[in-house]
Amino acid sequence: MLKGKKALVTGASRGIGRAIAIKFAENGAIVGINYFKDDEGARKTLNSVKEYGEGILIKGDVGDFEEAGKIVRKFVDFAGNIDIVVNNAGIYIRKNFEEIDEKQWDETLRVNLKGSFNICKHAIPYMNEGGKIIFISSQLAFKGSSHGADYAASKAGLLGLMRSLAIELASKKINVNAIAPGTIDTDIIAGYSKEEREERKRQIPLKRIGKPEDVASVALFLASDLANYITGEVILVTGGLYIR
């Protein structure tokens, strides 16, 4: 589905980002694997990607404007251009509003929201007609959160950025969409007890916690030509936990 396409995936050393990078490689894409700190995790992603095709590790902080530019340029030097951007990099520190201080608020928005702006700002000049931009948001962008107002706000902000870019880039035939995952089995829920996991399963209509691959499959669709007439949309991947 993505044969010969060049895809840059941020935050791809683990979880949803890793699953997307691997899924893209399985379907023929050349993959840029961006990450910030987890060298070992990034190498695991690269090894999996190389089972199917070409990939490159690109270490860097998306929240820093100049560093984001270096991330994009390194991938372009490797691949030649960019067809697909997946803005997945993000942080989530579980605290209620009373506990969130200014430093945490600023850092969450710097990485989650400004990081996506930074990557898009540098990447779009290298994208041609038929390009795809995908933002990984969250169901909390709609629901809010009692333990992550900063995270929910950053993910809601991504949707405003996504919709604006969808309108602006339509004339260039670049599609821009978002995915809003629900409870997915990643590091974010690693601290759940067995009882908490079972309670969450009971709340989800499909009666299971999502897998990173569930999100990756939707990203594959949005990155492919099958989604050429879809732009400015949000697809929820929640197992029915949040239906709007």
Residue 109 forms part of a structural domain = yes
Residue 244 forms part of a structural domain = no
Residue 187 forms part of a structural domain = yes
> Which structure tokens are listed for 189?
């829920």
pLDDT of residue 7: 98
Task: Look at the chain and report how many structural domains it folds into.
Answer: 1
CA distances to 40, 136, 160 from 141, rounded to whole Å, are: 31, 11, 10
Distance of CA 142 to the CA centre of its chain: 17
CA distances to 6, 21, 110, 170, 172 from 32, rounded to whole Å, are: 8, 8, 22, 25, 23
> Which structure tokens are listed for 85?
């951007």
Active site residue 151: yes
The average pLDDT across 214-238 equals 98
> Which structure tokens are listed for 78?
């490797």
The average pLDDT across 10-38 equals 97
The model's pTM is 0.95
Residue 181 forms part of a structural domain = yes
Range of the domain at 149: 6-237
- In sequence order, which residues have a C-beta less than 8 Å from that of residue 98 and are 6 or more positions away? none
pLDDT level of residue 243 (50, 70, 90 thresholds): confident
pLDDT at 69 over 90: yes
Residue 29 forms part of a structural domain = yes
Please, are residues 31 and 53 in contact by the beta-carbon 8 Å criterion?
A: yes
Mean per-residue pLDDT over the chain, rounded = 96
Q: Considering 52, 92, 151, 192, which one is annotated as catalytic?
A: 151
pLDDT at 188 over 80: no
The average pLDDT across 88-105 equals 95
pLDDT of residue 244: 84
pLDDT at 20 over 80: yes
Looking at residue 181, which CATH number applies to its domain? 3.40.50.720
pLDDT at 191 over 90: no
pLDDT of residue 200: 87
Report how far residue 37's alpha carbon sits from residue 91's, in angstroms, rounded to the nearest whole number: 12
pLDDT of residue 115: 98
The average pLDDT across 20-37 equals 98
Distance of CA 233 to the CA centre of its chain: 15
pLDDT of residue 108: 97
The average pLDDT across 78-87 equals 97
Residue 216 forms part of a structural domain = yes
Percent of the chain at pLDDT > 90 equals 91
Q: CB neighbours (10 Å) of residue 187?
A: 10
pLDDT at 238 over 90: yes
DSSP 8-state assignment for residue 190: T
pLDDT at 186 over 80: yes
Residue 242 forms part of a structural domain = no
pLDDT level of residue 80 (50, 70, 90 thresholds): very high
pLDDT level of residue 189 (50, 70, 90 thresholds): confident
Helix (H, G, I), strand (E, B) or coil at 137: coil
Residue 1 forms part of a structural domain = no
pLDDT of residue 32: 98
